[in-house]
Amino acid sequence: MLSWSAPAALAVAGVLAFAAVSKLRDLARFSDAVAGYRILARGLVPVAARTVVGAELLGAVLLAVPPTRVWGSALAMVLFSAFLIGMGSVLRRGMRVSCGCLQTSERVGAGSLTRTGLLLALALFAGFGAGLSFEPVQLLGAALLAGVVFGVAALVSRLDAQPAAPVVGRQFEIGTDVSDFAGGGDRVLFAYISPLCGACRAMLPEFRAVVGRVPVVLVSSGEFGEVRGYLDGQGSDLPLVTGPEVFEANGVPGPPYAVLTDSSGSILAHRGVDRPEKLAALLGDVGL
């Protein structure tokens, strides 16, 4: 039992260190992810984001040093337990938000819950390795344990995944006549956004820049007044459509995402557009 506790400690330390560094590279994006859980008041989000990153770094250091592994184990268990509570709250409310776990586009779901639960178990196990000195072979054990955790989580995520993507040729469902937005043209670009999405905020000027080539309509699942106020604050005057089912109705996995239709509402092309070059590629696919 004790022979695997040291590799468990190193595995959790590595995950915490990687998570913390990835969040530090774009702390604003992580703060947006924390805000997306809608658990904390907006004013507390920056403090919470920095606290999580600091705790992850401290936990990684404590777990890497044998005499302090008990403390590192306890801190890691607190972190993973808090993450599980937050994810569970999101799922109970039927929300689809970014996990914020490793600064990827992954959304909260069965995969992220499984991974966090397994890491919690490893963190508990790691506390038994306080008296074990470091040996190089422990690194191999740590890599194996981390691989198992992420492999199982990926498998669960794949099994749980619901096919979600707009279908070319299918009618775009937006709750209103698409031709109202065409302005006499034959194409309309619907750009899915969220006020809590950092990449969406960065893409707003890019959406505005292509209006001369194709009419652009922003789409969000938020409350209209709230989203409109956010857009006004960002200096965006693009038309806006909101509704609780705008993502599910068209199979859109998450923002920022763009769907290009003809004036009758038939879907011509679609893709995630978290970078300007992806938006350019989408328009290029249809000769715009």
Rounded Cα–Cα distance for residues 52 and 33 (Å)? 12
Q: How far, in whole angstroms, is CA 121 from its chain's centroid?
A: 23
pLDDT band at 164 (very low <50, low <70, confident <90, very high): low
Rounded Cα–Cα distance for residues 149 and 114 (Å)? 8
Q: In what helix (H) or strand (E) does residue 2 lie, and over which residues does it extend?
A: none
The answer to whether the CB of 207 falls within 8 A of the CB of 200 is no
Under CATH, to which class is 179-285 assigned?
alpha beta
Residue entry with tokens 């992850």: 56
Rounded Cα–Cα distance for residues 120 and 260 (Å)? 43
Residue ranges, comma separated, of all CATH 3.40.30.10 domains in the chain are 179-285
Nearest to 34, CA basis, from 91, 112, 94, 103: 103
Asked if residue 163 has pLDDT above 60, the reply is no
Q: How many CB atoms lie within 10 A of CB 105?
A: 11
Asked if residue 182 has pLDDT above 50, the reply is yes
The answer to whether the CB of 29 falls within 8 A of the CB of 199 is yes
Average model confidence (pLDDT) across the chain:
89
Rounded Cα–Cα distance for residues 167 and 191 (Å)? 16
Q: What is the pTM of this model?
A: 0.62
Q: How far, in whole angstroms, is CA 46 from its chain's centroid?
A: 17
The mean pLDDT of 196-206, rounded to a whole number, is 90
The mean pLDDT of 259-272, rounded to a whole number, is 94
Cα–Cα distances (Å) from 76 to 2, 43, 66, 123, 150, in that order, read 19, 25, 15, 6, 17
| Adjacent-strand bridge partners of 98 | 107
Quick one: pLDDT at residue 1? 45
Please compute, for residue 2, the number of CA atoms within 13 A of its CA located in the half-sphere on the CB side: 9
| Adjacent-strand bridge partners of 269 | 260
